[in-house]
Amino acid sequence: MGYVERTLGFRTRDLDDRDLRLVTDIVGGTIRWRRYLDHLIGSLCHDESMFRSMEPLLLQVLRIGFYEIVKLNMPPYAVVDENVKLAKVALRPGAGNMVNGILRKLVLVKENNSLPLPKLEGDSRTQARALATLYSHPVWMVRRWTKYLGQEEAIQLMMWNNSDPSFSLRANAAKGITRDDLVMQLNSLKVPHEVSLHLDDFVRVKIGLQNVIRAGWLKEGLCSVQDESAGLVVSVVDPQPGEDIIDCCAAPGGKTLYMASRLRGKGKVHAIDINKGRLRILKETAKLQKVDGVVDTIHADLRTFAENSPMKSGKVLLDAPCSGLGVLSKICVGIED
């Protein structure tokens, strides 16, 4: 999980399920659509300098209001009223007046179907900039994808990145938790879910992840958030009790921990990583999930470790660091970052 999810879990404990889902959507959506929202805000300011000099907190209030009106289609005048109040409380009365003026402009142009958005025309560079704004992606990424995939497929990929992601939970067999146990607990929390079609320990969750966090299951190590693609990698390794397995570039350790749970307390997973801090977290999580007895963390640079270490194993997993583009829809940060 990213910083945003952890922060929301900490700050939204007293919200009911409906409000919690809305807060999660607004926070994730304003981050995901930041380039698009900033273009609209800048277009409706008096001039460019007004937008460029805008206070960060004021800009964030406007992003929230624009997202609620344009993407969530919430009642516009209720959105204006609430965000004006927010600006006055968070900043000062004058800020509320500015928010009121800009949001009312947005309501007017939206009702007239005249949102100030760029058109897909001109040369390839101009079109790339337009697509970058329309789908809130970096220009360089749009240019690369349109070059190799074509415009239509690039647009589909960007739409996928901007869609609401689903998450998977893995039941921790090392603590005696089965998928049926996890399903029963999800039912008790009224969290919509479906079992994985490919992995016996996994359950898919579209909404309600914050309820799981608040229930303390992750903190207690009863389950973990893990993508099914990572689980499929482990299924290929097929860890068996008694085996010694080397996991290269192991941190943050999701696959290490899943392999360790499948060893049933017999064998060893040697987790190698160059990042000492991330290895420390892996070690702590292994203890939490009761697999620390079969997890051995090794702080090393694999490029030299492989040459100098006498360690041998019948199974070696190398999931090398990559761009992360395949999981953009699940990373709640601005894609520019």
For 243, which DSSP code? Answer: -
Could you give the C-alpha distances from 87 to 65, 93, 146, in angstroms and in order?
11, 7, 40
DSSP string, 25-75: HHHHHHHHTHHHHHHHHHHHSSSHHHHHT--HHHHHHHHHHHHHHHTS---
The answer to whether 301 is annotated as binding is yes
The answer to whether 254 is annotated as binding is yes
* Residue pair 136/157 in contact by the 8 Å Cβ criterion: no
The answer to whether 105 is annotated as binding is no
Beta strands at 202-205 and 194-195: parallel, antiparallel or unpaired: antiparallel
From the list 125, 162, 209, 163, the residue with the least C-alpha distance to 335 is: 162
Using CB atoms within 10 Å of the CB of residue 87, give its burial: 0 to 12 exposed, 13 to 18 middle, 19+ buried.
buried
Hey, which residues does 244 pair with through a beta bridge? 268
* Residue pair 225/167 in contact by the 8 Å Cβ criterion: yes
The answer to whether 322 is annotated as binding is no
The answer to whether 173 is annotated as binding is no
The answer to whether 251 is annotated as binding is yes
The answer to whether 252 is annotated as binding is yes
* Residue pair 71/32 in contact by the 8 Å Cβ criterion: no
**143 alpha carbon, distance to own chain's centre:** 24
The answer to whether 249 is annotated as binding is yes
Cα–Cα distance measured from residue 221 to residue 232, given in angstroms and rounded to the nearest whole number: 21
Hey, which residues does 204 pair with through a beta bridge? 168, 194
- Torsion angle of C-alpha atoms 110, 330, 228, 190, degrees rounded to 10: -60
Annotated binding site for S-adenosyl-L-methionine: 249-255, 273, 301, 319
Annotated binding site: 249-255, 273, 301, 319
